[in-house]
């Protein structure tokens, strides 16, 4: 027998009209209050209220709740074990982890074109905390991650869904050369946190569903502070979802996007990193990186746009090492830059975009000279790190990317890497003409 929804249950109870109306109108608001109070409790419990960025994210979650009615409340429990991804006898002991995730999402209903093109996804915010399997050396995490769930509006009894997210997390026990020397995975208190989850959904009734899935999490500070091996955790996940409303699609007709002309873009970027290997030396100075990237972009299909152009990066660390090692006497600044050809793609979600770019480093004199100086030899990995790099991250456009045909302005947050090794975190400001 099919389970009744909460609203239908309330309706069926023999109550006065006034009492019934009060329950039906106040129940969703009560859920909102309870859910946000739980989030606030977690923040205070982990004693992170001094971190401004996390407070801003809480306000963002409250803002979502205030503005949007089609909300979905999700709770997940994850259990797994940190992967031993570095060969050393001093690797911290690992035990099964137990992580809690609270997620508040908005269900898209087709009012904008991208809702329909991406299959009516849910866009939300997740908060992570829990036990990593070694409290003394790994401590506890507290993460805030924007998420998007594809296939979210499927209503079959059994169906599958994919959720991806990218945000930040705070670790209570990062590496410390004196008090915590074995945690080579996490070198700083605040790092990137990215995850992907594939899961099966079992609909119980029109409001409640159960989930079972597999989640892969990755945390890294993108070479901001050494050591930076990175933390990888594969998890088995179980969860439940509650939606106060039985959603209905308000738009099914896909409007063709006509604005597909070529645009000229310029991006100015700024980053910071340490000039070091993955785990040593520790405690070295932090150096600045400046990025200038001119490129052309054009909408291709309905999901996004291609980017074709160039990128020039100036490394303060290369300049300093040029002086120290006398690799290029009298030309220290000239040979402290990297010039690249760039090809990329942006998945556009109205004002937001997920950007991935691959770069061919056609001008990289310092890296080549440094390899020879350090007599590191030649192998395929060093070759790829010398000649290839990448950029992956999020962008926000000040104006709608679908309808606006004039200039636009955007900001971005990226992880830049040499082949597969993180190089630096980049903050950028760009203009589209």
What is the rounded distance in angstroms from the CA atom of residue 146 to the CA atom of residue 80? 22
Fold: same for 16-242 and 262-432: yes
Instruction: Tell me the β-bridge partners of 219.
Output: 193, 231
Tell me the pLDDT of the chain (433 aa) as tens digits.
343 444 444 444 454 555 444 444 454 455 455 545 554 444 444 434 444 444 444 444 444 444 445 899 999 999 999 999 998 888 999 999 999 999 999 988 888 888 888 888 999 999 999 999 999 999 999 999 999 998 877 767 888 899 999 999 999 999 999 999 999 999 999 999 999 999 999 989 888 999 999 999 999 999 999 999 999 999 999 999 998 876 766 666 666 666 778 999 999 999 999 998 889 889 899 999 999 999 999 999 888 999 999 999 999 999 999 999 988 888 888 899 999 999 999 999 989 999 999 999 999 999 888 888 876 667 777 888 889 999 999 999 999 888 888 899 999 999 999 987 899 999 999 999 9
For the chain, the C-alpha Rg in angstroms (whole number) is 24
Give the Å distances, CA to CA, from 248 to 4, 205, 252. Answer: 18, 15, 11
Q: What does the longest C-alpha to C-alpha distance in the chain come to?
A: 89
Q: pTM to 2 decimals?
A: 0.80
Residue 29, pLDDT score = 53
Residue 380, pLDDT score = 78
Residue 237, pLDDT score = 97
Residue 17, pLDDT score = 52
Burial of residue 361 (number of CB atoms within 10 Å: 0-12, 13-18, 19+): buried
Residue in the structure block whose two tokens are 């040593």? 280
The architecture in CATH of the region 16-242 reads: Beta Barrel (2.40)
Residue 33, pLDDT score = 52
Burial of residue 251 (number of CB atoms within 10 Å: 0-12, 13-18, 19+): middle
What is the rounded distance in angstroms from the CA atom of residue 39 to the CA atom of residue 44? 9
398 CB-near residues (< 8 Å, 6+ apart): 351, 408, 409, 410
Q: Determine the topology of domain 262-432 in CATH.
A: Porin (2.40.160)
Exposure string for 282-319, b = 16+ CB within 10 A, e = fewer: beeeebebebebebebebeebebbebebebebebbbbb
Exposure string for 33-58, b = 16+ CB within 10 A, e = fewer: eebbeebeebbeebebeebeebeebb
What is the rounded distance in angstroms from the CA atom of residue 383 to the CA atom of residue 203? 50
Query: Which run of H or E residues covers position 25?
Result: helix 17-45
What is the rounded distance in angstroms from the CA atom of residue 288 to the CA atom of residue 267? 17
Phi and psi torsions of 3, nearest 5°: -70, 145
Residue 404, pLDDT score = 84
Instruction: Give the pair of three-digit tokens for residue 304.
Output: 């996004």
Within 248-351, strands assigned E span: 262-274, 286-300, 304-315, 337-349
Instruction: Tell me the β-bridge partners of 400.
Output: none
Residue in the structure block whose two tokens are 């080549």? 368
Give the Å distances, CA to CA, from 270 to 264, 289, 339, 358, 412. Answer: 21, 6, 16, 18, 11
Residue ranges per domain, the chain?
Answer: 16-242, 262-432
Residue 271, pLDDT score = 96
């Amino acid at each position: 027998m099919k389970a009744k929804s909460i609203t239908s249950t309330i309706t069926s109870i023999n109550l006065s009209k006034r009492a019934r109306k009060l329950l039906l109108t106040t129940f969703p608001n009560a859920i909102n209050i309870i859910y946000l109070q739980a989030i606030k409790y977690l923040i205070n419990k982990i004693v992170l209220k001094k971190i401004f960025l996390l407070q801003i994210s809480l306000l963002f979650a409250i803002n979502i709740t205030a503005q949007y009615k089609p909300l979905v409340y999700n709770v997940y429990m994850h259990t797994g074990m940190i992967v031993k991804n570095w060969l050393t006898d001093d690797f911290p002991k690992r035990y099964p982890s137990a992580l809690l995730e609270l997620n508040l999402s908005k269900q898209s209903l087709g009012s904008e074109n991208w809702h329909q093109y991406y299959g009516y996804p849910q866009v939300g915010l997740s908060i992570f905390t829990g036990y990593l399997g070694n409290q003394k050396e790994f401590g506890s995490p507290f993460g805030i991650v924007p998420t998007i769930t594809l296939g979210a509006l499927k209503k079959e009894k059994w169906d599958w869904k994919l959720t991806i997210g990218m945000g930040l997390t705070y670790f209570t026990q990062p590496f410390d050369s004196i008090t915590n020397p074995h945690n080579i995975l996490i070198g700083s208190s605040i790092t990137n946190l990215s995850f992907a989850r594939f899961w099966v959904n079992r609909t119980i009734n029109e409001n409640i569903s159960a989930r079972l899935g597999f989640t892969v999490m990755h945390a890294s500070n993108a070479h901001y502070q050494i050591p930076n091996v990175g933390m990888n955790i594969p998890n088995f996940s179980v969860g439940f979802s509650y939606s106060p409303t039985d959603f209905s699609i308000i738009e099914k007709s896909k409007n063709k996007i006509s604005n597909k002309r070529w645009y000229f873009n310029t991006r100015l970027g700024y980053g910071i990193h340490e000039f070091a290997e993955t785990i040593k030396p520790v405690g070295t100075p932090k150096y600045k990186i400046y990025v200038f990237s001119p490129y052309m972009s054009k909408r291709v299909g309905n999901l996004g746009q291609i980017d074709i152009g160039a990128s020039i990066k100036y490394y303060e660390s290369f300049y300093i090492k040029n002086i120290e090692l006398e690799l290029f006497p009298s030309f220290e600044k000239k040979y402290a830059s990297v010039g690249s050809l760039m090809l990329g793609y942006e998945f556009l979600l109205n004002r937001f975009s997920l950007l991935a770019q691959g770069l061919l480093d056609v001008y990289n004199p310092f890296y080549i000279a440094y390899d020879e100086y350090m007599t590191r030899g030649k192998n395929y990995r060093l070759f790829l790190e010398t000649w290839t790099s990448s950029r992956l991250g999020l962008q926000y456009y000040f104006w709608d990317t679908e309808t606006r045909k004039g200039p636009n302005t955007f900001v971005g947050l990226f992880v830049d890497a040499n082949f597969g090794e993180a190089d630096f975190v980049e903050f950028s400001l760009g203009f589209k003409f």
